[in-house]
Structure 1
């Protein structure tokens, strides 16, 4: 049995578990007009930015010039998670310490800054660290070096599904003999160049009202808002956690599955429902055992219908409470599903589901029991987290209370 013993959160709605959870239950939104750069030239001008985050407070000074904001978020999250778990990596055999993270955008801020130096001053102005800071695997590598995590290391790049895939891979490594795994996902996709790349998908919202721009499953849905941040967590085998006297166990990673959608021209449909069923089978539970679903919630009407259809196929119309707390943060790519996992674990701990801010007019073709304006008190023994990534990735994760 693999369990989660520590959480670290960096989100537009709060840095740290306590702040994030309080604002999430209150339905407070972190979406606003972009301040990192002038968004005026772009059709999407809103995002979920982490404003109260100073990289220097979380990253060793010598590493600040070598790393991107995506990695700074992970440094902060890992430190918080390890402290929360009461775990010192040095207390574990050095080759039994694993690290598996997810990333989607890469170090885009760092990369854009260094390329601008090259355009204005020539190639000799570019930092040597450009060769690694932008790379998707930089976060895993830096965490491995900084914390001495010399066991199995990995990086997952499956966009929004990435963090669930990273957690699934970390569970695999623990089953193979690792004793501690640092896992999760972070992304920092807010730079002008990265905004251009995101706009090319045609899925971003052009809405100017922060309270109406990102509305998954709503009849007014017209795209999503990007966000930055994520969550890092500590995973262990339960017997190891209990043996060392872990301060808390948030929950068990009971089931996981991933599927890949066929090409549209194949005539076959999306496979999210199969991923959900496979995750339930892995957890050895039936659909009726699931108490809550943390949905992917694209905010794109066609994709919302696909997810609603998958949930209805497995659970029946309005068959299980569903929530999408990321409407307060934006879609954070590899950080988004990690944050959903953190929210699901906290919901199980406190017996309450967070709301889905701003969604008021549920679309007729999305027959879901969506938790909307207010939190809902609910005993949650099993929670399902769903995530999809651009390109056809689908992942589902079942969490179970540790009791």
Structure 2
């Protein structure tokens, strides 16, 4: 009798080299509630940026935002509403859809087999503002006891874990816009330590006066009045980004675990991840974005020539755009790879922005199409990048690179590619 072939080392749980597959995905964005609605909007060039409606913004210098139009309250039990901020309600609805999409029933998984890792940059700002108003207007006895956790960065992870009985290793990342990528990178580490599946990603919602004022202090929000001229990443007249809410959550599983439970499809593989801090100004050390990109490519085991598209942060701040363009050119050469910026359509929802970029990159390698950036006008020749605008462009190859930068020197990069496993 011929002995069965041994399981390849790369597929043995706990060896540190499992293939990390995305088996479930959900998007909440201003231009589409749900994965396929979001993707259709990107390919058709439809954006979701418009005047702020969640509060009266007429007295603020920045009056545009990317608002999620769906109502998460309708999909949740009434008992959860008094104890949750809007950001957590969005996360709970998204998490339920991810589990459904992945076909993963936590009840039939090992008790500690599924973890949760999310990222958040703002917490429950709207909940906190309301309770501060109660404190000052009515007194301390009118402040909700739920304020003790509803505002906290980790609340999405906690509420998702409780609602769905996900008792595996969990955590939260707070690294600004990088958070959506960092959460996925940390989830992949958990898979390599033996956890079978991790629900991960990022969701944000801080479109209230308190949250908006906090973001205005960064001096990176555009004051444009027209949605068409508001968010112009890499454009000659870029004047800042647009605040937004939303993000994406996904189910990350080792190929072995997904196969064992009978999963037959995936959106793709998280093949590489890396993070790097910006060096001290004047140090002469290499910049963080290029180092993160190169390290992620090395982690994936691929050369820059294998990347079919870069999903850029697209800060829409001239100084930051120039830095990111320089990093892309340093890694890929002048106009060496197609570049696109999803936030030109959605606005920038903190950590949720890089999660949206990651979702778009996965759909891009799935369908072999690069969604176009909004019309940003003339791109300065000094940037030397190949910005995709106008219409979708065919994706050459099986891989895409996602870049993110967070305020304070954070830089992260993720490589995704088509699922190469046979299950």
Instruction: Indicate whether the TM-score tops 0.5.
Output: yes
Shift of 1:331: 0.8
Q: Which moved more, 1:124-133 or 1:258-267?
A: 258-267
2:131 corresponding residue in structure 1: 114
Shift of 1:29: 1.0
Shift of 1:305: 0.4
What are the Cα deviations for residues 205-262 of structure 1, in whole angstroms up to 9, with x where unaligned? Answer: 0001101111010001111111100000001000111222214211111100001113
Instruction: Find the aligned partners of 1:293 and 1:28 in 2 and give their Cα distance.
Output: 20
What are the Cα deviations for residues 243-302 of structure 1, in whole angstroms up to 9, with x where unaligned? Answer: 222142111111000011133364546311000000011001111111111001000000
Matched, 1:3 2:21: yes
What are the Cα deviations for residues 25-52 of structure 1, in whole angstroms up to 9, with x where unaligned? Answer: 111110001000011111100000012x
What are the Cα deviations for residues 371-395 of structure 1, in whole angstroms up to 9, with x where unaligned? Answer: 1111112244011000010111000
Matched, 1:354 2:335: no
What are the Cα deviations for residues 147-203 of structure 1, in whole angstroms up to 9, with x where unaligned? Answer: 111110100000100010000000000110111100000010211111111111111
Matched, 1:321 2:335: no
Please say which structure displays the higher CA radius of gyration.
2
Contact kept? 2:342, 2:356, Cα under 8 Å: no
1:259 to 276, 296, 305: 276
1:38 corresponding residue in structure 2: 56
Q: How does 1:35-74 map to 2 (within 5 A)?
A: 35-51=53-69, 53-74=70-91
Q: 1:265 to 1:134 in 2, by over 3 A?
A: farther
Instruction: Find the aligned partners of 2:288 and 2:42 in 1 and give their Cα distance.
Output: 30
Contact kept? 2:176, 2:407, Cα under 8 Å: yes
What are the ranges of 5 or more consecutive residues in structure 2 without an aligned counterpart? 1-18
Matched, 1:291 2:308: yes
2:34 to 9, 13, 16: 16
Instruction: Find the aligned partners of 2:120 and 2:269 in 1 and give their Cα distance.
Output: 23
2:287 corresponding residue in structure 1: 270
Shift of 1:351: 1.3
1:187 corresponding residue in structure 2: 204
Contact kept? 1:360, 1:372, Cα under 8 Å: no
Q: What is the TM-score with the length of structure 2 in the denominator?
A: 0.93
Q: Which moved more, 1:290-299 or 1:356-365?
A: 356-365
Contact kept? 1:106, 1:134, Cα under 8 Å: yes
1:150 to 162, 167, 177: 167
Matched, 1:222 2:206: no
Shift of 1:59: 2.4
Contact kept? 2:399, 2:415, Cα under 8 Å: yes
Q: 1:266 to 1:194 in 2, by over 3 A?
A: farther
Q: Which moved more, 1:317-326 or 1:361-370?
A: 361-370
Q: 1:159 to 1:347 in 2, by over 3 A?
A: same
Q: How does 1:159-174 map to 2 (within 5 A)?
A: 159-174=176-191
Matched, 1:240 2:262: no
SS in 2 for 1:304: helix
Shift of 1:90: 1.4
Matched, 1:28 2:61: no
SS in 2 for 1:65: helix
SS in 1 for 2:229: coil
Aligned length: 402
1:87 corresponding residue in structure 2: 104
Q: Which moved more, 1:180-189 or 1:355-364?
A: 355-364
Contact kept? 1:8, 1:79, Cα under 8 Å: no
SS in 2 for 1:264: coil
Instruction: Find the aligned partners of 1:367 and 1:112 in 2 and give their Cα distance.
Output: 44
What are the ranges of 5 or more consecutive residues in structure 1 without an aligned counterpart? none
Instruction: Find the aligned partners of 2:333 and 2:75 in 1 and give their Cα distance.
Output: 45
Instruction: Find the aligned partners of 1:368 and 1:138 in 2 and give their Cα distance.
Output: 39
1:381 corresponding residue in structure 2: 398
**RMSD of the alignment, in Å?**
1.1
